[in-house]
Amino acid sequence: MEGEQIILNDIERLKYEKLLKLQENGKDPFKIEKFDQTHHSKEIKDNFEDFDGKEVSVAGRMMSFRSFGKATFIDIQDKDGRIQSYVRKDQLGEELYKEFKEFDIGDIVGVTGIVFKTQKDEISIKASSIQLLSKSLRILPEKYHGLKDMDLRYRQRYVDLIVNPEVKEAFLTRNKAIKALRDFLEQREFIEVETPILNTIAGGAAARPFITHHNTLDIDMYLRIANELYLKRLIVGGFEKVYEMGRMFRNEGMDMKHNPEYTAMELYQAYADYEDIMKLTEEAVAYMAEAATGSTLIEYQGKQIDLKPPWRRLSMTDAIKQYANIDFDTIKTDEEAVELAKEHAVEIIPEMTRGHVISAIFEKYCEEKLIEPTFITHHPVEISPLSKRNPDDPRITNRFEAFVNTWEIANAFSELNDPIDQRARFMAQLRQRELGDEEAQMLDEDFLNAIEVGMPPTGGLGIGIDRVIMLLTNSASIRDVILFPTMKPMAKKMAENQDLSSQDDKSCNESITDLKKIDLSKVKVEPLFEDMVDFEKFSESDFRVVKVKNCEEVPKSNKLLKFTLDDGTEKDRIILSGIKNYYSAEELIGKTLLAITNLPERKIMGEPSQGMLLSAIYEYNGEEALNLIMLDRNIPAGAKIY
């Protein structure tokens, strides 16, 4: 197009030539504004007896083209599925049939005709007219190989939805579940509201915010990390049941459970406590499952999980006692707790208290055990700056987190409405920020003013919608349930059907990171080993090509990335590698790597690791440098290295 060079292969060039010819003949498909679509594929196929012999008009993308001279069969894909159309020269007329024969797979067409069954008993439409509604100028991935590159599928979701129709089912299920949640809350007289996305203070949660700038006001602003403080203001103002469902934004890591922007639902109910909210939570999630899947019994990655209430209740310290065999009833002081943390290799933070240690021990030893739906209650006050203290033990709060499949899917508490205590908690958070905790909360004077006006006893809840949808759709990654997940920008690529062999001589690292020329005088490598290794012993190591299906950060680790790999077998291989300081998890998805696959399985931070990925390590300018060994993407998974 004008001012821009478009790289085309032969087939795409032919598509453009066809479009130009149509435009020259006054038949530009892009000038068509409307097609009178009367029915969809599923409706016709499910009710054939009602449609047999009747005229219908359908529209959609042409997904196959099987020509037999004077007759052609095409498949049209609409929002509900596919239906076959039988196109005959004697029905259309010679001129229109000639035009039709120039259509391409991927074109959008409209067909009018009579519904019938072929000799092979396939419900079809005998076309009396056919119209090109939009010209496809790119090549769709072919039927049998489809669009398999996960990285490309997320970037080009529009193509993913076309060639992998099952993907759409996950988003239809998502729609049903969200609609069900709204229905559930409406039945209980909750009012849906909207609160600001742009905030002058990032509050309501412990998270690192995105920062932007308002030019007119000349102030920095934050994309909201939570809507909690605004919703509580509404409770102060006299609303008794409010909720909001929408996007939250957190400038943090990305992995299979985390996307920088995600959907959350927060609600607040006056005159309710965390016990009331606990009951509401389990009922809401079960209601969503029933509406979206037809059952509260779901299967997630080979595990059956029943979301039917009631869910198990377990305090945080009881969970630690059960799963880590540590009794915090016997640990009274902060000093004793910190010593315990050191014994269990828990990271020590400035001004660490008994409450911080309880939280860290729970995360390390207990979360991975919580497969069935479980409410973990009574969190330490140090990690719960907005929740009400337990009257019997002021060291803990009346708070719960809901866990399913080891994931936290909800967080709730009896809301703190004591403005004096709230100010003290905010000041403690400010001290944590001063000590370097970027996720500690900011001081919100207007919110303090609101609860000084007076807030009734209130129960609050936040549900991570995307994680619930992952469970309901059996999706391995959060990206599978977000239509357009956040991705690292890439330079323009040729279409996936083009020959990429001309790029094979480029470094694989150039595709994901900007390499700079290095000063070889600053490079230092380890001396070569002098001891020789017996060839037979060396040959026992099984070096295999592996493809990265997913990569995520290991929680609470500063170094580890967890790789889910295709090693050429039908079973996923998990390998942990300490390269987080050199690569982000997101940029490695879809890459082709080299691994040793016959090492004994070992656990690292509680995670099983089944082999080792190979990297090149050297010293540069006095610091360690590392390059993960990446291979040509055309080498198949499982290929053996000799």
Measured in degrees and rounded to the nearest 5, phi and psi for residue 348 equal: -90, 130
Residues of the chain with CATH 3.30.930.10: 167-310+371-478
Query: pLDDT of 569-598, one tens digit each?
Result: 988 999 999 998 888 887 888 899 999 999
Q: Could you give the percent of the chain with pLDDT greater than 90? A: 71
Look at residue 592 and give its three-state secondary structure. strand
d(CA 622, CA 620): 5
What is the topology classification, in CATH, of domain 167-310+371-478?
Answer: BirA Bifunctional Protein; domain 2 (3.30.930)
Query: pLDDT of 385-398, one tens digit each?
Result: 889 999 999 999 99
Q: Which of 394, 401, 312 is nearest to 355 (CA)?
A: 394
Cα separation values, 56 from 51, 60, 114, 129, 344, Å:
8, 13, 6, 11, 70
Query: pLDDT of 523-545, one tens digit each?
Result: 888 888 777 777 777 778 899 99
Q: Output DSSP code: residue 509.
A: G
**Residues 587-613: b if buried by 16+ CB within 10 A, e if exposed:** bbbbbbbbbebeeeeeebbebebbbeb
pLDDT reported for residue 454: 97
Cα separation values, 117 from 121, 443, 454, Å:
5, 70, 71
For all residues of the chain together, what is the average pLDDT? 90
d(CA 305, CA 267): 26
Residues of the chain with CATH 2.40.50.140: 8-132, 521-638
Query: What is the sign of the dihedral through the CA atoms of 104, 106, 107 and 113?
Result: positive
- Give yes or no for a contact between 398 and 273, defined as CB atoms under 8 angstroms apart: yes
- 148 has a pLDDT exceeding 90: no
Cβ neighbors of 319 (< 8 A, separation 6 or more) are 362, 366, 369, 370, 376
Is residue 401 annotated as involved in ligand binding? yes
Look up the CATH architecture of domain 521-638.
Beta Barrel (2.40)
Query: pLDDT of 442-480, one tens digit each?
Result: 899 999 999 999 999 999 999 999 999 999 999 989 999
Look at residue 154 and give its three-state secondary structure. helix
pLDDT band at residue 7 using 50, 70 and 90 as cut-offs: low
Determine which of 33-37, 40-44, 144-148, 270-274 has the lowest per-residue pLDDT on average.
144-148
Mean pLDDT of 49-57: 97
Q: Which of 24-30's residues contact partners 24+ apart within 8 Å by CB, and which partners?
A: 27/99, 27/132, 29/108, 29/132, 29/133, 29/134, 29/135, 30/134, 30/135
Cβ neighbors of 64 (< 8 A, separation 6 or more) are 73, 74, 75, 105, 143
Mean pLDDT of 294-305: 95
Q: Output DSSP code: residue 389.
A: B
- Give yes or no for a contact between 337 and 358, defined as CB atoms under 8 angstroms apart: yes
Predicted TM-score (pTM) of the model is 0.77
pLDDT reported for residue 8: 63
pLDDT reported for residue 4: 47
d(CA 461, CA 637): 45
DSSP labels for 352-388? --HHHHHHHHHHHHTGGG--S-EEEE--BGGG-TTBP
- 498 has a pLDDT exceeding 50: no
DSSP labels for 178-202? HHHHHHHHHHTT-EE----SEESS-
Q: Which of 602, 544, 594 is nearest to 576 (CA)?
A: 602
Mean pLDDT of 254-268: 93
d(CA 592, CA 156): 20
Is residue 283 annotated as involved in ligand binding? no
Enumerate the β-bridge partners of residue 223. Answer: 198
pLDDT band at residue 147 using 50, 70 and 90 as cut-offs: low
SS (H, E, C) 415-447: ECCCHHHHHHHHHHHHHHHHCCCCCCCCCCHHH
- 512 has a pLDDT exceeding 60: no
Q: Domain spanning 8-132: which CATH class is it, in words?
A: mainly beta
- 499 has a pLDDT exceeding 60: no
- Give yes or no for a contact between 558 and 629, defined as CB atoms under 8 angstroms apart: no
